Structure 1
Amino acid sequence: MSQHHLDAARRAVAGQGLDAEPAAQVHRSRPAKLLKFSTNGIPVTNRVQLWEHHNSRALISLDIRTMDEAPLRASEVNLHFPSLKFAEVKGSAQVVERNERFIRQNPTDVIAVFFALEGEAFFYYGDGHESLKPGHAVIYDADRPFLRGFSKGLHELVLTIPRDDYLELSGGKPLLKPQVVDFNRGKPLNRHMHALARLINATLAGKTQPGQTAAPERAEDTALELLGLLARGERGGANPGYLATARCYIEDRLDDPQLSTAEVAVAVGISERHLTRIFAEAGEPPSLYILGRRLEVARDILSDPAQRTMPVGKIAADVGFASQGYFTRAFKTRFGAVPLQFRKNTLSEFAP
């Protein structure tokens, strides 16, 4: 990471005068802070004001209005890294705006990425507008005027990055118009966005991503690598970004026995040789990584008391093995017992 980014990170840490609870350490020297907000228990007349106040200190300053007579319902979970901010936002019908006057009074100097999970929305900006549905993500400069509306409520993930850091990732290319990406579609650029959404969601939930030792500890660096791929919109990204996208794609396709290294490479947008080199640098070739993830998922199913009656053949098929015999041999090699014996040994401790 560049000296510029490190300086930005230090500035961010110095400026975080928020009441927060420690959540994790990013490389130990870079603490992340967790904040939470909910309108539950707040008097109806104060909800919009306090919702605006929370967003102002924890994410982006917004002028917020409800769209009907119903009391505002809203909640937010925020995770602050030295440079990036992650958030999960839920709320009832509302309009959020940053017009020119509001921006002059409340500058943010950040680029925001909004990931729509539930609910349709409209997005007006400058001389254009977008209709957004679940699965759409928007990258936009938060200091350019916009109006966003959620007629049936919202559920979204949000990421913000200082504008200077984004410009460094994009090679100095400013973001003059919103970039809309359908992160449920199949293009490599969309898959990078899908991987970024998956990373944010897992990190906020405190879950470990496949291939990571702990959920938050490298989340900011991985998110920056993925943002770099999105900002440049071309090849030449750093290997960790491609690795994160490849692992995300593999996770979504584990049940396909035809999943191959070549398919993953095409999905990510690099050559098979490049993909193999990236995985080798991380510790194992992609074929062994796929096999390992299948066996780990099968192990988790076999260890689950609620699924004690699921046939081994179905488990093998569900995790992408075309042959139950091969699954049994591979499982024994990995875990020292055939699946049925492993299940018996593991579930015996749950016996009454």
Structure 2
Amino acid sequence: MLTETEFRTDDLPAEVRFDFWCERIGRTSPAPLDLHSEHWADFRARQRVLELGAVHVWPATHQALRFRRTPKLVRQSDPEHCHIGLPLRGTNRVAWGDQKDVYGAYEIRVFDSSRAFEVNCSNGPDLFSGLGIEIPKSLLHLPRNSVDRLFAQGMSGREGIGALLVQFLTQLAADTSCYQPCDGPRLGTVVIDLLSALFAHVLDADRSLPPESRSRTLVLRIRAYAQRNLHDPRLTPCAIAAAHNISTSYLHRLFQAEQETIATWIRRQRLERARRDLADPAMCSSTIHAIAARWGFIRAADFTRAFRTAYGMPPRDYRHQALHGPGATPWTQC
């Protein structure tokens, strides 16, 4: 599992919860913050800190909260970090200088530890939920003064590179069990590439990105595109290359650095989704051929052969074992 820290207030006496929360935030945030909540007398909150090398990701759920980075705190300590805020449920009201704005779920904003600002997080009577990213400004593949132009600027997390970033972060936060601590820096590199690509797109500065960062980001875009279209039997390397305005040979070169070819990766993704459907009682009324076709396998024989190679048994046997146990007879109904 990744190196991560979790702290929550549920198990503490009500009168010490908010002080505990402020103390823990002070330990984990590289930039000192002033925190306040109307619910300070009985504050409910949970936060995890995922360590991805020098990049930290913060999935958090809490009651309405205000945090401020005041001019005094900036003078006191400036780690020269960016904080990226992403509400998932609720809204953020932000103020800086003489400006104010409100942004909601799946909107991405960038804040700079070198500047003063105030953010109020709330979700009415319900708990606010969001993700934060802490990253040293020096790691972004952008000219240093570019961060000033990004400050508090809204970026969509529902489309384009922003959607890729949100998808990656939410999937990572949902389940870290398949990763080892040594994977942390590599995952941090993915976050850096996606953030840099998103910021460069907003600033119209794509040429400032190093070639390797552009290549890694393009691979992530291709994977996301393929996952959205696994059901389409016409999803081939040629079709993927055309959709991304690159040659098929360049597509194959991109995946030379990966563990498997693009065609092999697509087949594995399709088989895994078919396997999940076969083991799902809710899909019991669907035939094996219908499930195969749902994930892009037109010929039943091709699916059976590929499934047997991947999982060591034909799909029919796998379905019986998954739904009824290893001892189920072949005629057991779903």
Alignment TM class, shorter chain as reference: 0.7 to 0.9
The letter of the residue matching 2:266 is I
Residue of 40, 54, 57 corresponding to 2:24: 54
* C-alpha RMSD of the superposition: 3.3
Alignment of 1:108-119 (within 5 A): 108-119=79-90
Q: Which whole-Å CA distance do the structure 1 matches of 2:240 and 2:162 have between them?
A: 14
Residue matched to 1:135: 106
Does residue 242 in structure 1 map to residue 188 in structure 2?
no
Residue matched to 1:170: 142
> SS of 1:61's equivalent?
coil
Residue matched to 1:155: 129
Runs of 4+ aligned structure 1 residues displaced above 6 Å come to 212-215
> SS of 1:97's equivalent?
strand
Residue matched to 2:173: 201
The letter of the residue matching 2:64 is A
Q: Which whole-Å CA distance do the structure 2 matches of 1:150 and 1:231 have between them?
A: 23
Q: Which whole-Å CA distance do the structure 1 matches of 2:297 and 2:181 have between them?
A: 26
Identify unmatched segments of 5+ residues in structure 2. Answer: 329-334
> SS of 1:144's equivalent?
coil
Q: Which whole-Å CA distance do the structure 1 matches of 2:293 and 2:91 have between them?
A: 36
**Contact 2:14 / 2:41 at 8 angstroms: preserved in 1?**
no
For the structure 1 residues 82 and 104, does the alpha-carbon distance in structure 2 shift closer, same or farther, using more than 3 Å as the test? same
Q: Which whole-Å CA distance do the structure 1 matches of 2:265 and 2:88 have between them?
A: 29
Output one character per residue of 1:194-242: Cα deviation in whole Å (capped at 9) or x when no partner: 344246425xx31448xx9996473122222323323433264342333
CA shift, 1:291, in A, is: 1.8
TM-score, scaled to structure 1: 0.75
CA shift, 1:75, in A, is: 0.7
For the structure 1 residues 207 and 111, does the alpha-carbon distance in structure 2 shift closer, same or farther, using more than 3 Å as the test? same
Does residue 276 in structure 1 map to residue 252 in structure 2?
yes
Does residue 295 in structure 1 map to residue 265 in structure 2?
no
The letter of the residue matching 2:133 is L
Residue matched to 2:92: 121
Does residue 340 in structure 1 map to residue 294 in structure 2?
no
> SS of 1:139's equivalent?
strand
Residue of 157, 161, 175 corresponding to 1:183: 157
**Contact 2:18 / 2:42 at 8 angstroms: preserved in 1?**
no
TM-score, scaled to structure 2: 0.78
Residue of 81, 84, 92 corresponding to 2:55: 84
> SS of 1:271's equivalent?
coil
**Contact 1:208 / 1:215 at 8 angstroms: preserved in 2?**
no
Q: Which whole-Å CA distance do the structure 2 matches of 1:316 and 1:83 have between them?
A: 42
Count of aligned residue pairs for this structure pair: 313
> SS of 1:313's equivalent?
helix
Identify unmatched segments of 5+ residues in structure 1. Answer: 1-22, 25-32
> SS of 2:263's equivalent?
helix
Deviates most, 238-247 or 90-99: 238-247
Residue matched to 2:332: none
CA shift, 1:350, in A, is: 4.8
Q: Which whole-Å CA distance do the structure 1 matches of 2:21 and 2:309 have between them?
A: 54
For the structure 1 residues 74 and 171, does the alpha-carbon distance in structure 2 shift closer, same or farther, using more than 3 Å as the test? same
The letter of the residue matching 2:37 is T
Output one character per residue of 1:21-57: Cα deviation in whole Å (capped at 9) or x when no partner: xx54xxxxxxxx4211101122333222221211111
For the structure 1 residues 244 and 213, does the alpha-carbon distance in structure 2 shift closer, same or farther, using more than 3 Å as the test? farther
Output one character per residue of 1:282-339: Cα deviation in whole Å (capped at 9) or x when no partner: 1443233212211122223334577666532342244344555553344345445431
